Structure 1
Amino acid sequence: MKRLFSLRFGLVLTALATLGTTGCIAPRAVTSTGKVTPRGEFRAGANQSFNIPSETIGKTGSVVKEAATQLASQDKVEYSDLVDKVQVAALAYVLDPVQPATDLYVRYGAFDRLDVGYKYAFGSHVFDAMYQFMGPTGTPERPEGPAGALYGSIGLQYATQRAKLPSIPYLDDIDGLLRFRATRHDLIVPLVFSHSFGPEEEVGAVSFGAVYTHSFLRYGFDPRNIYVKGSTTELLPTLPEQKRSFSSYGTFANVKIGYRYAYIIPAFALYYQNYGTYQLLNNQTAKLKGFTFIPSVGVQFRIPTSRK
């Protein structure tokens, strides 16, 4: 058993190492099924997703990119509408970036209907638990239900991250101009239903459900070379730390395909969020809302342990 466990764990590490690191974002792709990890077993895996938010794409177009480069090249920047646009672009990117995201995770079956897990998304740390309220709790080796059984579970995830703009040329310009800082925390509640392929998901499952997310953001701007309009001596006051929160509502579907110990999981999630109203420099405000599309693909390994 120890040799078999070491071999499977080595395969997990090798697969995870092949997935490159990408940006820092709390993962919202849902690749779980309605069946939680059986008691005493481990699951480990990795996901590669792409975050495509409509609002961020709309606020970071070519005009904003050119404005950021132009403003960053000036020793003294006079406040204008362009400054507002680059602020909105920075906020939009932190609220919902356009970027790929990789996450690695491990889960453990703590009880018959409850598992716990940790997920690392290269800057974002996620802790969660899932409770299975419907369906059998066996394993492929010791099934407790028929092939094709239905499962249901609900979870709670907590994610924390230091939000920052990625190292992309025009975003670096914005960061240098505004001295933008932000942190965020996310609470995520997925409701998952699944239909097993074979007994106890021996060859996989098809899953679907809904997700509710509530995000808490703190941010501020501390520019050092932006001046009041019409003045070359009066600096624009900094924006002290602001606190905002917003909700997201989503739906998802995924397919888990494999056999007993290794699976591939393609998935798709769709979210809608009204991010709310945000304070900008010079007493200006901005309202943001939109849809987010998240296609993903992942690998998952089941690591059973001996049970009496």
Structure 2
Amino acid sequence: MKTQIPLPYRPLFVALAGLLAASCSAPRAIVATGKVTPQGEFRVGYNQGFNIASAPLAKATSAVKEAASQATSQQKVDYTDATTQLQAAALAYILDPVQPTADLNVRYGIVPRLDAGFKYAFGSYVFDTQYQLLGPVGTPENPGRGAASGTTYASIGLQFATQRAKLPSLPFLSDINSLLNFRATRNDLLVPLTFSQSFGPEEEIGAISYGVVYAHSWVSYGFAPTKIYANNQVVSPLPTTSRNFSSFGGFVNLKLGYRYFYVIPAVSVFYQNYGDYALLNGASTSLSGITVVPSLGFQLRIPTSAARR
């Protein structure tokens, strides 16, 4: 027996499903505070954001979109400057896509001042850990020595994400992919340094957090077209090529709630020089740009039984 979705909710369900299906990039929203998860506690959450990157937006011109549409309807495509631009657009979207991002996450306090977590970003798998450099390690039920409203916390984190990259589900990118037979994988490393001021003892009603972040990404990609010609011969495929690049940024987030449930709006800003990338037919392209990542998260704190007594 099939379960039917009530008619009034179907548009909402379809929109949500499409949103999650598009969210296959590694999350770069920083929603953590300077205080790590206390030992023995769990925190679970959900974050929804949007990756707004200048490089792919600059490459997605109307001329590129028209060229992609025309090329897919042809049996034979001559290699021109437009073909180079199509490859550059595909790379820009793989390196830093313009699309929604979402993740489900869980964290656990391993020992005092150290926790670890896992995020599932609907196509990207993320492992991270965080070490607390400054501030007490108590809980709202049992505050540590010196814990009060306004107490400063600081921590440093390490996040690793791996994924088989794919182009977002946009019509002109699907046209590009069918023409170029584009494939890519990527791994991302993120190192945030976070400072925060507590609202209430041990972040009982939240905190304001800010900091800087360094990221490094490793990308492998290739093109294997079958109908692009140069000098009346099919263009040779571009074998798998590997590149890496660094990103630098800053962030701020606000954690608001009470003891067990919190809402976390956040924004992160990154700059990256992606470097030079080889293309088909001996061509190449250079990419750089700024990325803004606004997000909204929800977090549930699950204290230990000892803390609840």
Quote the residue 1:112 is aligned against: 112
Gaps of 5+ in 1: 1-17
Aligned mates of 2:52, 2:168 — CA distance in 1: 15
Partner SS for 2:305: coil
Aligned with 2:164 (options 158, 162, 165): 162
Identity between Structure 1 and Structure 2 (%): 59
Determine if contact 1:40/1:307 at 8 Å carries over to the other structure: no
Deviations 1:9-42 (A, max 9, x none): xxxxxxxxx8951321000000000000000000
Quote the residue 2:210 is aligned against: 208
Quote the residue 1:67 is aligned against: 67
Quote the residue 2:76 is aligned against: 76
Deviations 1:219-274 (A, max 9, x none): 00000111114x2xx11000001010000001000000000000000001100000
- Which 4+ residue blocks in structure 1 deviate beyond 2 angstroms? none
Aligned mates of 2:48, 2:135 — CA distance in 1: 29
Determine if contact 2:179/2:225 at 8 Å carries over to the other structure: yes
Partner SS for 2:306: coil
Aligned mates of 2:150, 2:189 — CA distance in 1: 32
Partner SS for 2:219: strand
In the alignment, residue 175 of structure 1 is paired with which amino acid?
N
Partner SS for 2:202: helix
Quote the residue 1:297 is aligned against: 296
Aligned mates of 1:199, 1:97 — CA distance in 2: 39
Question: 2:237 matched to 1:238?
Answer: yes
Deviations 1:180-236 (A, max 9, x none): 00000011101000000000000000000001000000000000111114x2xx110
Aligned mates of 2:65, 2:23 — CA distance in 1: 19
Determine if contact 2:106/2:119 at 8 Å carries over to the other structure: yes
Aligned mates of 2:168, 2:274 — CA distance in 1: 20
Quote the residue 2:177 is aligned against: 175
Aligned mates of 1:61, 1:53 — CA distance in 2: 14
Deviates more, 1:165-174 or 1:266-275: 165-174
Quote the residue 2:130 is aligned against: 130
Offset of 1:305 from its aligned partner?
A: 1.7
Offset of 1:306 from its aligned partner?
A: 1.4
Determine if contact 2:148/2:198 at 8 Å carries over to the other structure: no
Aligned mates of 2:170, 2:287 — CA distance in 1: 22
Number of residue pairs matched by the alignment: 288
Partner SS for 1:146: coil
Quote the residue 1:199 is aligned against: 201
Offset of 1:148 from its aligned partner?
A: 1.7
Aligned mates of 2:157, 2:268 — CA distance in 1: 16
Deviations 1:96-125 (A, max 9, x none): 000111111000000110000000110000
Determine if contact 2:97/2:168 at 8 Å carries over to the other structure: no
In the alignment, residue 275 of structure 2 is paired with which amino acid?
G
Gaps of 5+ in 2: 1-15
Superposed, 1:1-308 pairs within 5 Å as: 21=20, 22-144=22-144, 145-229=147-231, 231=232, 234-307=233-306
Offset of 1:61 from its aligned partner?
A: 1.7
Aligned mates of 1:43, 1:184 — CA distance in 2: 28
Offset of 1:167 from its aligned partner?
A: 2.3
Aligned mates of 1:165, 1:187 — CA distance in 2: 20
In the alignment, residue 196 of structure 1 is paired with which amino acid?
S
State the Cα RMSD in Å.
Answer: 1.1
Offset of 1:307 from its aligned partner?
A: 2.8
Aligned mates of 1:211, 1:72 — CA distance in 2: 41
TM-score (norm 2): 0.91
Deviations 1:49-102 (A, max 9, x none): 111111110001211111100111101111111110110000000000001111
